[in-house]
A and B are shown apart, each in its own frame.
Chain A
Amino acid sequence: MCTTCGCSDNAKTTVTDMQTGKTVEIAHNHNHEHSHDHDHQHQHGDEHTHEHHHAHALHSHLHSSIHGTTVSLEADILEKNNRLAERNRGWFEGRNILALNLVSSPGSGKTTLLERTIIDLKEQVSINVIEGDQETINDAERIKNTGCKVIQINTGTGCHLESDMLARGLKDLNPPLDSVVMIENVGNLVCPALFDLGEYCKVAILSVTEGEDKPIKYPHMFQASQVMILNKIDLLPYLNFDVETCISYAKTVNPDIKIFQVSATTGDGMIDWYNWLKQQINFNPKTIQTKSAQPTLHRAT
């Protein structure tokens, strides 16, 4: 059990296809590939009967100055996740899909922002969603009601999505060519910063009901994100939230971060976010609305 965030290796990760209602459990990459069955048991009646024979053998090795062989590994600890993330990235590129990893603390309004974005851009861009939460399919239900395809990944006690979970979710989501995949990560400003999923970029969502110093409190996340969406600005008159200070903190941590001030509830400022989104997609968004029309692909012939 992770002492700080509650992440556990017994996490039961499940993927729910909201279209069929089918839920499957997925084996996470924490499984040990080597099951060793050395027989180090002592015979009863042995003069040196003790329970830690293994440790004892090791110590005697060390103390007898017969040193083991040192093998240089130079291995990146997150290599496995990163390798799978690169595969996901290639998968997206091959399908000309723009994938965004939405990260924030719980309650920042990620799902509301997504709902509004999907509905407002419905006629222009095909958006499908991977929902990450520890438990429940509530968010996926909300996204499903907008009419788009959604897959819910429940991480159990896990505190972030990893690239193998995303790969599994994508298989079920089966997004079309020339579309957008929004990955709503588990609400957490720490762990998701370290785990690349293969997305085009991370978009951090911060709401004005949180502290304005969040960017410097959680610098990894705001440094790993290309975009920060400051949400719930309609509530500013009722709060002591200093927007300028917040923006300067975000720029301190990440001078190149793009910032949009929006209210997903009233729609204020959403147009800037939509324009940015449309600039990132590598296909003509308008061609998506008519099913018979061939999308403009940027492919070499």
Chain B
Amino acid sequence: MHELSITHNIVSIVSEQAGNKQVCRILLEIGKLSAVMPDAIRFCFDVCSKNTPLEHAILQIHEVPGLARCLDCGNEFEIELLFGRCQCGSNRIQCIAGEEMKIKEMEII
């Protein structure tokens, strides 16, 4: 959802950084638990990047798997949902990776 609004933010931030340079590639880091669908971002990107320095830029998305830490025993384990249970039985877990929504880098020419 809301990927259009998010893609607009991406284009706006990168354009600002690129100044009047042309951007040929950007790399995003999107967590698998971030509620943002990479395919929807790709879909919106073509539309949002029109008439900006990002037009025709290659969009790379690195998806980060979910990782949680148990607040009771400290164990770290992979998660596919935002909630879950640690081996120790506790459901007090903290998501430590997988919610990223970042622009890692851009390549300018």
Contact = CB atoms under 8 A, between A and B. Distances in A.
Nearest to B44: A2
A191 B2 CA distance: 6
A2 B105 contact: no
A7 B1 contact: yes
Interface residues of B, number: 46
B56 interface: yes
Contact of B2 (A2, A62, A73, A216): A2
B1 A5 contact: yes
A72 B4 contact: no
A9 interface: yes
Interface in A47-71: 54-55, 58, 61-62, 66-71
Interface residues of A, number: 55
B104 A220 contact: no
Contacts of A77: 6, 9-10, 13, 28, 101-103
Interface string A230-274: 000000000000000000000111110000000000000000000
A159 to B, nearest CB: 6
B72 to A, nearest CB: 10
A136 B22 CA distance: 43
Interface in A17-55: 29-36, 38, 54-55
A190 B52 CA distance: 29
B11 A32 contact: yes
A4 B35 contact: no
Interface of B: 1-6, 8-18, 20, 22, 24-25, 28, 35, 40, 43-44, 48, 51-53, 55-56, 81-83, 91-92, 101-109
12 contacts: A3-B40, A30-B8, A31-B12, A34-B15, A36-B20, A67-B107, A70-B106, A70-B107, A71-B17, A73-B106, A75-B102, A255-B92
Given A34-B53, A73-B104, A75-B102, 11 more contacts: A3-B40, A7-B1, A32-B11, A73-B105, A76-B101, A77-B101, A80-B9, A193-B35, A194-B2, A219-B82, A255-B92
Interface of A: 1-5, 7-9, 29-36, 38, 54-55, 58, 61-62, 66-81, 158-160, 162, 190-191, 193-194, 216, 219-220, 223, 251-255
